[in-house]
């Protein structure tokens, strides 16, 4: 059992975070994030919901096989099929946790589950018992706990502890609570539930009213010792509690919280950048801790103060969270060793074949632009994952555009069957034309909802990163692309998003066929 002065950081970027609209990730991307989370020092990685789809099962199982250090956790409803699937997926893990949940609020019980209190109680206890028959580390979550009748919550928490739960999680599933009320709920449970001192009390807050971090910290002050959170606060709707914010609050105000975490805070910024690039969700400039403006002082009076003494206006130093000056790191004469070392410093551990591929791309880029920055290196590695995932790869393109007339695009795309397809299209500008050609070549139907360009580093020859959002059959899909040519970056981002649509469609098809076969 962990020490009570330790605040356990439970990361659910790969499970709840992935439920963020348009944020689905492929296996390589999930593994890349899981490695970064282990390196960051999180205590628990919730790797997915194995019963949700074969893709989720495979992701949990691969994370369990490859990631050493943190506890690897899988989510299950309180039924035998889900719990057995988690246990099977966790099989290769060194340290495992089964996380079971059932909703406990009146509104969820009546409308979502159509179950009475007694049935919910029985389901929860049976779920915990089954999970405990496999594993010593079992977490129970009372979904929508913050809107649950306190008396009933006390009853269910008491029952699951008696059944063997070792962590009990109190989620604010819809982001409804406020700090004082949530702290009072935690105090009430700690005072009223027998045996609560023997388990870890956890919280899981959503950000619908912008209070996920404040609510989590209020709960910690009231005695909770595990926070469930995600990198960049990604997650359902407005998202989850942001890991980097709660961790830096606990560190910066350690005299107030009197708790320690296992987080290496200097890995926060690289991890947030990684998740942002993989999900295509840019970090807002004014985002606390890791936003571009988090350490920028604009007003003269502030600049003057900071120059005299940094602590006048800075409560944290950029280097505490791993923000470094965007320094020149490598050039075209740098060798493979220097390249590998720098990638390791950035948190990337590559296999030999991946490293060869990345090094070739680095050399090509170093011919195009003389200064190579950390962000360029990150982009090289992340684009490897994108290209590997397929099925479509952009082989070539030719674009003609002129003032006052339409643009034309011709693109050559190759799929995983090695078919080379070329399509031409006209459009209102080069991106519109390229998008039409990509849709025609791949047979995908989608509309472009958002298109954002940003410069990855500084200088005229900097690479541009494009993030796009496509909508198809009521679903959002993101994609990113990077190049020194922003039209090419745009086309690559569109191909990435189209690939994600194709992969999700194929996974849905497998899932439906499996469901149909089992009826």
Closer CB to Zn ion, residue 16 or residue 376? Answer: 16
DSSP notation for 146-195: GGS-HHHHHHHHHHHHHHT-SEEEEEETTS---HHHHHHHHHHHHHHSTT
Nearest one of 210, 205, 207, 208 to 224, comparing CA atoms? 205
CB of 224 to Zn ion, least distance (A): 16
* Residue recorded with tokens 């980097």: 244
Q: Which residues pair with 100 in a beta bridge?
A: 76, 140
- Least distance (Å) between residue 33 CB and Zn ion: 17
Encoding tokens for residue 290? Answer: 């890791």
Our CB check for ligand KIV shows the closer of 112 and 395 to be 112
Looking at beta carbons only, is 219 or 444 nearer to ligand KIV?
219
Partner from Zn ion, ligand KIV, none binding residue 143, C-beta < 5-8 Å depending on class: ligand KIV
Quick one: what does residue 347 bind among ligand KIV, Zn ion, none, with the CB cut-off 5 to 8 Å set by partner type? none
212/434 with CB nearer ligand KIV: 212
Which of 57, 348 has the CB closer to ligand KIV? 57
| Residue with smaller CB distance to ligand KIV, 236 or 376 | 236
Please answer whether residues 462 and 449 qualify as being in contact, where contact means their C-beta atoms are separated by less than 8 angstroms: no
Sheet of 464-472, strands arranged across: 447-455, 464-472, 475-483
Cβ 257 to ligand KIV shortest distance, Å:
23
- By a kind-dependent CB cut-off of 5 to 8 A, residue 101 interacts, out of Zn ion, ligand KIV, none, with ligand KIV
Smallest distance from ligand KIV to CB 261, Å: 20
- β 138-143/96-103 pair status: parallel
Q: Which two tokens stand for residue 473?
A: 């059959």
Query: What does 500 bind: Zn ion, ligand KIV, none (CB cut-off 5 to 8 Å by kind)?
Result: none
Q: Return the one option of Zn ion, ligand KIV, none that residue 207 interacts with (CB less than 5 to 8 A, by type).
A: none
Q: CB nearer to ligand KIV: give 206 or 273.
A: 206
Bridge partner residues of 242 (DSSP): 230
Using CB distances below 5 to 8 A depending on partner kind, what does residue 13 bind out of ligand KIV, Zn ion, none?
none
**Shortest Cβ distance from residue 204 to ligand KIV (Å)?**
5
Out of Zn ion, ligand KIV, none, which partner does residue 141 contact, by CB within 5 to 8 A per kind?
ligand KIV
Sheet (strand 420-427) strand order: 393-400, 407-414, 420-427
Q: Which is nearer to ligand KIV, 142 or 498 (CB)?
A: 142
Out of Zn ion, ligand KIV, none, which partner does residue 496 contact, by CB within 5 to 8 A per kind? Answer: none
Identify the three-state secondary structure at position 393: strand
C-alpha span between 200 and 202 (Å, rounded): 6
Q: How far apart are CA 325 and CA 62, in angstroms?
A: 35
Residue 391: asked if its preceding bond is cis (omega within 30°), the reply is yes
Name the residue nearer to ligand KIV (CB basis): 82 or 143.
143
CB 469 within 8 A of CB 454: no
User: Do residues 453 and 465 make contact, with C-beta atoms less than 8 angstroms apart?
Assistant: yes
Can you give the binding site for Zn ion, defined by CB under 5 A?
A: 16
Residue number with the smallest Cβ distance to Zn ion = 16
The listed partner (ligand KIV, Zn ion, none) that binds 481, CB under 5 to 8 Å by sort, is none
Nearest to 259 by CA among 3, 1, 40: 3
Residues 241 and 220: their CA atoms lie apart, in Å, by 13
To the nearest whole angstrom, how small is the minimum distance from the Cβ of residue 19 to Zn ion? 8
Q: How far is the CB of 217 from Zn ion (least distance, A)?
A: 17
Residue closer to ligand KIV by CB (options 176, 392) is: 176
Q: Are 137 and 71 in contact, with CB atoms under 8 Å apart?
A: yes
Shortest distance, position 255 Cβ to Zn ion, whole Å: 31
Q: How far is the CB of 50 from Zn ion (least distance, A)?
A: 17
Which residue number, 12 or 383, has a Cβ lying nearer to Zn ion? 12
Q: State the binding partner of 442 from ligand KIV, Zn ion, none, CB within 5 to 8 A by kind.
A: none
Q: Which entry of ligand KIV, Zn ion, none binds 202, CB below 5 to 8 A by partner kind?
A: none
CB of 222 to ligand KIV, least distance (A): 19
Using CB under 6 A as the criterion, which residues of the chain lie in contact with ligand KIV when the complex forms?
A: 16, 101, 141, 143, 169, 171, 173, 204, 206
- Closer CB to ligand KIV, 37 or 486, in the complex: 37
Closest C-alpha to 10, from 203, 177, 185: 203
- Helix 374-389, helix 352-368: angle, nearest 10: 120
Q: What pairing do the DSSP bridges indicate for beta strands 44-48 and 8-11?
A: parallel
**CA 90 to the chain's CA centroid:** 20
Rounded to a whole number of angstroms, the minimum distance from the CB of residue 16 to ligand KIV is: 5
Q: How far apart are CA 65 and CA 437, in angstroms?
A: 40
CB of 171 to ligand KIV, least distance (A): 3
Give residues with Cβ within 8 angstroms of 307, minimum separation 6.
none
Burial class of residue 501, CB neighbours in 10 A (0-12, 13-18, 19+): buried
């Amino acid at each position: 059992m962990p020490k009570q002065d330790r605040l356990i950081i439970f990361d659910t970027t790969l499970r709840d975070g992935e439920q963020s609209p348009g944020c689905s990730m492929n296996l390589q991307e999930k593994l890349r994030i899981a490695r970064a989370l282990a390196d960051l020092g999180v205590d628990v990685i919730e790797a997915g919901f194995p019963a949700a789809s074969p893709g989720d099962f495979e992701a949990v199982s691969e994370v369990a096989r490859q990631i050493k250090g943190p506890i690897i956790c899988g989510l299950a409803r309180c039924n035998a099929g889900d719990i057995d699937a988690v246990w099977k997926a966790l099989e290769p893990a060194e340290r495992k946790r089964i996380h079971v949940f059932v909703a406990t609020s009146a509104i969820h019980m009546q409308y979502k589950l159509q179950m009475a209190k007694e049935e919910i109680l029985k389901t929860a206890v049976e779920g915990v018992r089954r999970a405990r028959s496999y594993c010593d580390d079992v977490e129970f979550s009372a979904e929508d706990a913050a809107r649950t009748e306190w008396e009933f919550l006390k009853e269910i928490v008491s029952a699951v502890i008696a059944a063997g739960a070792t962590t009990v999680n109190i989620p604010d599933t819809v982001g409804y609570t406020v700090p004082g009320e949530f702290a009072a709920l935690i105090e009430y449970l700690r005072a009223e539930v027998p045996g609560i001192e023997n388990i870890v009390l956890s919280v899981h807050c959503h950000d619908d009213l912008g209070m996920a971090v404040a609510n989590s910290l209020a709960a910690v002050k009231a005695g909770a010792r595990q926070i469930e959170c995600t990198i960049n606060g990604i997650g359902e709707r407005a998202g989850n509690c942001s890991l980097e914010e709660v961790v830096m609050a606990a560190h910066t105000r350690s005299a107030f919280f009197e708790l320690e975490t296992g987080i290496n805070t200097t890995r926060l910024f690289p991890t947030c950048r990684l998740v942002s690039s993989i999900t295509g969700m840019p970090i807002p400039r004014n985002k606390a801790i890791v936003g571009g403006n988090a350490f920028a002082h604009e007003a003269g009076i502030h600049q003057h103060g900071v120059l005299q003494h940094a602590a006048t206006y800075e409560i944290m130093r950029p280097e505490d969270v791993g923000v470094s000056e965007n320094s020149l790191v490598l050039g075209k004469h740098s060798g493979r060793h220097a390249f590998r070392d720098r990638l390791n410093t950035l948190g990337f551990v590559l296999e030999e074949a991946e490293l060869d591929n990345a090094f070739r791309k680095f050399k090509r880029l170093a011919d195009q632009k003389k200064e190579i920055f950390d962000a360029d290196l990150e982009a090289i590695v992340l684009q490897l994952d994108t290209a590997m995932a397929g099925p479509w790869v952009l082989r070539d393109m030719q674009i003609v555009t002129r003032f006052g007339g339409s643009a034309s695009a011709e693109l050559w795309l190759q799929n995983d069957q090695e078919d080379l397809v070329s399509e031409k299209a006209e459009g209102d500008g080069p991106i519109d034309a390229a998008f039409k050609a990509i849709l025609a070549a791949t047979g995908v139907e989608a509309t472009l909802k958002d298109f954002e360009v940003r410069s990855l580093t500084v200088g005229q020859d900097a690479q541009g990163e494009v993030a796009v959002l496509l909508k198809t059959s009521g679903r959002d899909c993101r994609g990113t692309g990077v190049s020194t040519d922003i039209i090419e970056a745009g086309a690559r981002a569109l191909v990435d998003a189209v690939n994600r649509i194709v992969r999700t469609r194929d996974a849905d098809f497998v899932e439906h066929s499996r469901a149909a076969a089992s009826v």
